[in-house]
Amino acid sequence: ASIYIQMFLILVRLVAIIAFFAWRVEHRNHDGMWLWATSMVADAWFGFSWLLNQLPKLNPIKRVPDLAALADLHGEAVLPGIDVFVTTVDPVDEPVMYTVNTILSILAADYPVDKYACYLSDDGGSLVHYEAMIQIVHFAALWVPFCRKHCIEPRSPENYFGMKTRPYVGGMAGEFMSDHRRVRREYGEFKVIIDSLSTTIRRRSDAYNKRDDGVHATWMADGTQWAGTWIEQADNHRRGQHAGIVQVMLDHPSCKPQLGSSARTNNPIDLSNVDTRLPMLVYISREKHPGYDNQKKAGAMNVMLRVSALLSNAPFVINFDCDHYINNSQALRAPMCFMLDPRDGQNTAFVQFPQRFDDVDPTDRYSNHNRVFFDGTMLSLNGLQGPTYLGTGTMFRRVALYGMEPPCYRAENIKLVGKAAELGNSTPFLNSIPDGAIQERSITPVLVDEGLSNDIATLMTCTYEDGSSWGRDVGWVYNIATEDVVTGFRIHRQGWRSMYCSMEPAAFRGTAPINLTERLYQVLRWSGGSLEVFFSHSNALIASRRLNPLQRIAYLNMSIYPIATMFILAYSFFPVMWLFSEQSYYIQRPFGTFIMYLVVVIAMMHVIGMFEVKWAGITLQDWWRNEQFYMIAATGVYPTAVLYMALKLIRGKGIYFRLTSKQTEACSDEKFADLYTVRWVPLLIPTVAVLIVNVTAVGAAIGKAATWGFFTDQAWHAVLGMVFNVGTLVLLYPFALGIMGQWGKRPGILLVMLVMAIGTVGLLYVTLQQDGHRMSFLTRPSG
């Protein structure tokens, strides 16, 4: 019933907006026509953006995976194969321990071990990542059977051992404590090895290099030179210039369980009734050459897609960022409830999980949880053609990534005639596509001989994609910062649908930047990429008719939403004018009626938002933090993204958006130390200016009211105008705390500073006005 009330309120608010505009046109402000016209354009755009945002939310549908029904219908034996992709670049910005725990959680997932494979793409070609994989293989032999024996949740060791309480749900409680102590001790030693890898590799390389004068190579433990990026970079061994590397770290396991050994002196853990097999694990670092645009994450994903086709060729693939681990061991089973649905599963291209984050400060100061988007917007799209692709925690149907049409639009089975030009000229890869389209297919072991190695090397070369459709109509899309959204859009416009899948406990969890500057840079990349989508071949306005009309509106809104913030920024700076001129208050006459209209229209928008909060199942704090952070972004990040896009259109080439760092720079053992670290960058300046302007405006309004008398019409207008200045300051409160650094731990100090600043401005205004009147009196000519 709440959704119908919400629809009614949307209609009422739409009528109110139309009445508001009609009133404004009837009462044009001829004294400030340029200001009136500008505000009319701004308000018209606000109304248009709001309508685009609301229309796709009229049919939210929540679907819950039924794992019991999946087991009854399909069972273990017929579950299809899955290729799991993990991407990383820099072992500093993306700490190796994040990647290690992600991979360990994948290896320990509750899915038939012979039916999935894990691939790590190391796009920096770092020996640290490679040797971390070797250590993972050793520790996984203990960690994975331990998880299976005792039903451990979550299966990321760092997060499991970091939990304060761990309710036991396994069937061997008598052995748990001793096993737990042993594994925890082993994990502590494992962490020491991982943390010291950089030092170990450097010392080893220095020792080898002393034997060979003039050589500054990076050396592997077996005494051979590393083929990837060296510590002291040289030709053919730089981050952007090195050979391709593929190494199968764990071979595909047998189909039959392999029970471990009984407890003994050197291994006190009894694994005699536990399957000790591990899934296939592969390390990949693609070829890099300075003459080619490597296309960042999208390029790495496309290489993994091709290489995996020759090694495992699972019909489904799921991708993770290196800092997102499996939090619910049954997470790989959940999307199969939708993919294998006999009703319409064959037309489902991907299943998107909402993102959940660890280590966010308790108040979620910068709206890192982003529940309004993940649980509101994505849930609403589930009632249309499905949620957008969000870059991580997404299971795909392999053939959808190959650019194939869904079965409902495909008259016959997949044919590869004429596809070589689109998919590249590798015959083994082309021959793998029909098998990868069979959704019941498991993973078949392959022998990695010299011939297969050569075929894989061909798929990893920089030149392989030349003249093909990779990066446009095949694979992940290139040349757009938000490659995830535009890739999902390309799949949707072909007629595929997607599904939103939420489960408890959350399927996956990751990390989020709690530092203000890093958070703003993250949002800058997202918003800049959204604008790139609008000005590209992926514009929703020109998509085929297979795209649901409301889904088209949703994509259009996601690609132009930063534009509205240019007007928000302008409104935020309007007080500068009325600090010096009384008439500047009058954007619209009569001013009091204008303010009342705005209050009603804005209040109705928030009431509608309350209904969204209800059906999305989010809290009021989530909603309020979203409102606050939107204002923070609207006064700095989003306008910057619009400027970047304008420069791109003028210059004809893209803008570089930096990778969001997950590494803290705060030298403290405090859990949320990075929250109180200030990193001053130009991106902060516009919002700081808005803060100063609105603090000054509030002080000036109070000074004007005191000067004219608090019960005069002029004072009433000043107070009405001040309402929006105060509202702006309340919304920017988290930003103000952020730029205070360590002082932000004491919010009371901020309140005192604001009161003092406003009071100082008010007193200064009154003093200047009195001095002005006195000078006017003294200089008045005598009669």
What SS3 class is residue 63?
A: coil
pLDDT category at 266 given cuts 50, 70, 90 is confident
What are phi and psi for residue 117, nearest 5 degrees?
-135, 150
- For the stretch 221-257, pLDDT in tens is 999 999 999 999 888 898 889 999 999 999 999 999 9
Q: What single DSSP character describes residue 229?
A: B
How far apart are alpha carbons 717 and 726 in whole angstroms? 14
Q: What is the mean pLDDT of residues 275-281?
A: 97
**Are 516 and 346 spatial neighbours (Cβ–Cβ below 8 Å)?**
no
How far apart are alpha carbons 771 and 764 in whole angstroms? 10
pLDDT category at 196 given cuts 50, 70, 90 is very high
Residue 692 has pLDDT above 50, yes or no: yes
Structure tokens at 640: 């910057």
Compute CA distances 111 → 331, 472, 501, 761, 765, whole Å.
9, 33, 18, 65, 70
Say whether 662 counts as a known binding-site residue.
no
Higher pLDDT, 363 or 574: 363
Structure tokens at 270: 């009894």
Three-state SS string across 634-696, please? Answer: HCCHHHHHHHHHHHHHHHCCCCCCCCCCCCCCCCCCCCCHHHHCCCCCHHHHHHHHHHHHHHH
pLDDT given for residue 703 in this prediction: 87
How many CA atoms are closer than 13 Å to the CA of 233, on its beta-carbon side? 9
pLDDT category at 711 given cuts 50, 70, 90 is confident
The residues with which 117 forms a beta bridge, in sequence order, are: 83, 280
Q: What is the mean pLDDT of residues 183-195?
A: 96
Residue found under tokens 């939990």? 163
How far apart are alpha carbons 300 and 22 in whole angstroms? 54
DSSP3 helix / strand / coil % (the chain, rounded to 5)? 55, 10, 35
Alpha carbon 571 to its chain's center: 29
In this structure, the number of other CB atoms found within 10 A of the CB of residue 687 comes to 26
pLDDT given for residue 683 in this prediction: 93
> Environment class of residue 359 by beta-carbon count within 10 Å: exposed (0-12), middle (13-18) or buried (19+)?
middle
Q: Which helix (H) or strand (E) holds 524?
A: helix 516-534
Q: What is the mean pLDDT of residues 92-119?
A: 96
- For the stretch 23-48, pLDDT in tens is 999 988 777 788 889 889 999 999 99
Residue 344 annotated in active site: no
pLDDT given for residue 237 in this prediction: 93
How far apart are alpha carbons 241 and 228 in whole angstroms? 8
Residue 171 has pLDDT above 70, yes or no: yes
How far apart are alpha carbons 106 and 377 in whole angstroms? 28
Residue found under tokens 């990778």? 659
pLDDT category at 657 given cuts 50, 70, 90 is low
Say whether 123 counts as a known binding-site residue.
yes
**Are 315 and 398 spatial neighbours (Cβ–Cβ below 8 Å)?**
yes
- List the catalytic residue out of 122, 375, 484, 622: 484
Q: What single DSSP character describes residue 30?
A: G
pLDDT given for residue 783 in this prediction: 46
The residues with which 511 forms a beta bridge, in sequence order, are: 358
Can you give the C-alpha Rg of the chain in angstroms?
Answer: 30
Q: Which helix (H) or strand (E) holds 398?
A: helix 398-401
**Are 482 and 533 spatial neighbours (Cβ–Cβ below 8 Å)?**
yes
Q: Range with the lowest mean pLDDT among 533-542, 591-600, 705-714? A: 705-714
Residue 174 has pLDDT above 90, yes or no: no
How far apart are alpha carbons 146 and 153 in whole angstroms? 11
Task: Tell me the angle at which helices 516-534 and 483-493 cross, rounded to the nearest 10 degrees.
Answer: 30
Higher pLDDT, 580 or 171: 171
Residue 710 has pLDDT above 90, yes or no: no
**Are 443 and 313 spatial neighbours (Cβ–Cβ below 8 Å)?**
yes
pLDDT given for residue 581 in this prediction: 57
- Strands of the sheet with 508-511, listed across from one edge: 325-326, 508-511, 357-358
- Strands of the sheet with 394-397, listed across from one edge: 245-250, 280-285, 116-122, 82-88, 316-321, 394-397, 348-352, 497-500
Structure tokens at 220: 């592997």
How many CA atoms are closer than 13 Å to the CA of 390, on its beta-carbon side? 22
pLDDT given for residue 701 in this prediction: 85
Q: How far apart are the first and last CA of the chain?
A: 76
Q: What is the mean pLDDT of residues 289-307?
A: 94
What percentage of the chain exceeds 70 in pLDDT? 93
Residue 341 annotated in active site: no
Say whether 321 counts as a known binding-site residue.
yes
Tell me the pLDDT of the chain averaged across its residues: 90
Residue 712 has pLDDT above 70, yes or no: yes
Q: Range with the lowest mean pLDDT among 439-453, 631-645, 744-758, 767-781? A: 767-781
Structure tokens at 310: 């020759």
How far apart are alpha carbons 505 and 509 in whole angstroms? 10
Structure tokens at 760: 């100082």
Q: What single DSSP character describes residue 376?
A: I
- List the catalytic residue out of 123, 323, 375, 674: 123
In this structure, the number of other CB atoms found within 10 A of the CB of residue 605 comes to 17
280-285 and 245-250 strand pairing: antiparallel
Q: Dihedral of CA 462/463/467/468: which sign?
A: negative
**Are 498 and 350 spatial neighbours (Cβ–Cβ below 8 Å)?**
yes
- For the stretch 115-151, pLDDT in tens is 999 999 999 999 999 999 999 999 999 999 999 999 9
Q: What is the mean pLDDT of residues 650-660?
A: 68
Higher pLDDT, 73 or 545: 545
CATH number, domain 67-164+171-355+390-512, options 2.60.40.3880, 3.50.40.10, 3.90.550.10, 3.90.1150.10: 3.90.550.10
Residue 720 has pLDDT above 80, yes or no: no
Structure tokens at 408: 């409902």
What SS3 class is residue 388?
A: coil
Please state the domain extents for the chain.
1-60+544-772, 67-164+171-355+390-512
- Whether the link from the prior residue into 505 is cis, omega within 30° of 0, is yes
- For the stretch 443-492, pLDDT in tens is 888 889 999 999 999 999 999 999 999 999 999 999 998 999 999 999 99
**Are 732 and 610 spatial neighbours (Cβ–Cβ below 8 Å)?**
no
pLDDT category at 4 given cuts 50, 70, 90 is confident
pLDDT given for residue 194 in this prediction: 97
pTM: 0.93
How far apart are alpha carbons 245 and 126 in whole angstroms? 11
pLDDT given for residue 667 in this prediction: 43
Q: What is the mean pLDDT of residues 713-720?
A: 75
pLDDT given for residue 594 in this prediction: 85
The residues with which 461 forms a beta bridge, in sequence order, are: none
Residue 321 is which amino acid?
Answer: D
Three-state SS string across 476-508, please? Answer: CCCCCCCHHHHHHHHHHHCCCEEEECCCCCCCE
How far apart are alpha carbons 533 and 481 in whole angstroms? 9
The residues, ordered by sequence, that sit 6+ positions from 571 with a Cβ below 8 Å of its Cβ are 39, 42, 724
How far apart are alpha carbons 759 and 767 in whole angstroms? 12
